[in-house]
Structure 1
């Protein structure tokens, strides 16, 4: 698969004359696995990459330049999201990645989709970032009386290897639904929105932080509805998927959806490999939470505004990276 990348900062500094380069920090590349371009992981990873980068030759932070890690060039790399990112981090194919909390937990402990596999024991968390809401998207004017109405329908279950697909298949099984009685389609968020707009899907699931770009575009061009889970359905799902919790997408989040949508959400976590140096992860964590990064988040993607130091450890069930742990202890977040 051809990977799309968003390179934070500029690599032009790599051509700096040797005399100048010798005085600058040594260049390091740091990949952040994200998701498809139509979801929330890709733009969030891009903002984080910009925040933590400070390529060789950059103007110092105190002089109005980058306040990232000296010498670091971070890259937001598109992928098939949570499961693919967990695998990439575990195997060292990427230095870090974003994943929903349930996937981080089950990968590390060898449960769920990862049952029977070697545990992903190299995974470590840098930070919990923001909540991700489950969207069940329907054509404009369509209605479901319950999830069981999906039986026999053409349903998008997200791309193979994604945390959304893992959760959706577990969720559907609680209501007697599986690949044998729905016509499932393994598509990413953008593809799912296009297929719904073209009449090739009756519904699709996607878990991502609101507002999701592909869903915003679908709403603006063809219109759509969001399914509101009943309280009974949410209780069943929370019991089956303990890393999800009840959440509401407020009316007006998507222009054509003026009603509140009862749904569920899980936390997006930023993970890295245990073998990444403690010093580097400490510096990255410190850069993530500085004032310059806060300003970048406030003016960036709406979900970035929800990335807060006081929720940095919320829902984290596997070990922190020692570098991140050191920062949180110094900051008084961890005692």
Structure 2
């Protein structure tokens, strides 16, 4: 009897206690991609400012854009990084979403930077132009990422079909891009920001070449599909790349479902916009980000939590937002299959600027909480290379580049400032 009375007394009191929500989780991409450290940079700003009031922002490593949208739909993540062309298809129920109907639940928060479809060729392939890949062994990109969709759009524009390309054999449990090194592939497409850790590794270790994506058919593709833009990789960014490389660009966007509560979205918005200078210094791909670029119009409807007046940027601070000054080799992706380990807490510091040479152990997509780095003695205007996590996921094929090791200056010239789709450099 006494227990029953006590229970009735305590239940109303429990209702008054604050409810602890789950951590805000961002669906990103491969550990050695750009989406993953970008998600880590977002979490780093939110966690350093304690913006979530006791809760933590975490990052989820995934296969990329398509996997992120699926995770968003299933409630595994609350925010997701996605290519703009994939968002277009999701919004209209086309491409990889054909037969699923239009997705009217997606909402935009920020447009972050530009990434590009990049064509890589084996040094023994004889490929020097886009037209040369016809009849060759060409890998269209990682399933679950946006690469196959983007490369298929290019194939369609060129008037090619699968029967015009030679068959190839992938080795189970091995990064497909290694085929460019051992000669089992002639070419491969990768959607990446620049500098790209994977491309730097392949160019330095295997003499893989970057091939321009340009020509009449590409001009027509860009005209017919405005979610693509002209993009250019600056000269001398990668080993052996002495000229600028034209290619196809698209935006990397931060999105959520319309059902994500407005106060959470407003917190993310206010914190990132107030700390935009610090945020822009946490990875080379973010270095051109400004308040205006973040709030540039996108095809998706804006989330309701983004609609009121945004705050003014704050001065540079705190020191916790400064990247670590340590520089370690970044692991490369060894396998496309999921495995099972978790990166350390400083997962947002994945963007090592050195060319990786050591293989890493097999691991799986993981969730990590990016913790603030130990304050260093650098001035607020100095950004040193970030320390990569030790964990490797199915897609961690991005390898560090030599030029990135020398600083965080962006190396992708992107589209002209005045272009409607102007974005800044960066993968899933």
Question: What TM-score bracket applies, with the shorter chain setting the length?
Answer: 0.7 to 0.9
Please state how far the C-alpha of 1:243 moved relative to its aligned partner. Answer: 0.9
2:12 corresponding residue in structure 1: none
Query: How many Å separate the matches in 2 of 1:176 and 1:153?
Result: 15
Query: How many Å separate the matches in 1 of 2:187 and 2:143?
Result: 17
2:146 corresponding residue in structure 1: 163
1:108 and 2:102 equivalent? no
1:243 corresponding residue in structure 2: 227
Query: How many Å separate the matches in 2 of 1:184 and 1:320?
Result: 43
Query: How many Å separate the matches in 2 of 1:31 and 1:306?
Result: 25
Find the residue that maps to 2:307 and give its secondary structure. helix
1:129 and 2:123 equivalent? no
1:84 and 2:67 equivalent? yes
Contact 1:129 1:267 in 2 (8 A): yes
Which residue of 301, 304, 312 corresponds with 1:319? 301
1:301 and 2:283 equivalent? yes
Contact 1:82 1:98 in 2 (8 A): yes
**Cα RMSD for the two superposed structures:** 2.7
Query: How many Å separate the matches in 2 of 1:174 and 1:184?
Result: 23
Which residue of 36, 39, 43 corresponds with 2:37? 43
Find the residue that maps to 1:76 and give its secondary structure. strand
TM-score, normalised relative to structure 2 = 0.63
Find the residue that maps to 1:204 and give its secondary structure. strand
Higher-strand-fraction structure: 1
Higher-helix-fraction structure: 1
Which residue of 227, 248, 262 corresponds with 1:264? 248
Find the residue that maps to 1:86 and give its secondary structure. helix
Aligned length in residues = 295
1:202-221 to structure 2, matched below 5 A, reads 202-221=186-205
Higher relative contact order (CA 8 A, sep 6+): 2
1:174 corresponding residue in structure 2: 157
Gapped regions of structure 1 (runs ≥ 5): 1-21, 54-64
Query: How many Å separate the matches in 2 of 1:46 and 1:321?
Result: 22
Please state how far the C-alpha of 1:26 moved relative to its aligned partner. Answer: 4.2
The one-character-per-residue Cα deviations of 1:17-70 (angstroms, maximum 9, x if unpaired) are: xxxxx99994541111111223211111111121122xxxxxxxxxxx535332
Query: Does 301-310 or 258-267 show the bigger shift?
Result: 301-310
Query: How many Å separate the matches in 2 of 1:185 and 1:160?
Result: 16
TM-score, normalised relative to structure 1 = 0.80
Please state how far the C-alpha of 1:201 moved relative to its aligned partner. Answer: 1.1
Distance 1:96 1:184, change over 3 A: farther
2:261 corresponding residue in structure 1: 277
Query: How many Å separate the matches in 2 of 1:145 and 1:175?
Result: 16
Find the residue that maps to 2:56 and give its secondary structure. strand
Find the residue that maps to 2:299 and give its secondary structure. coil
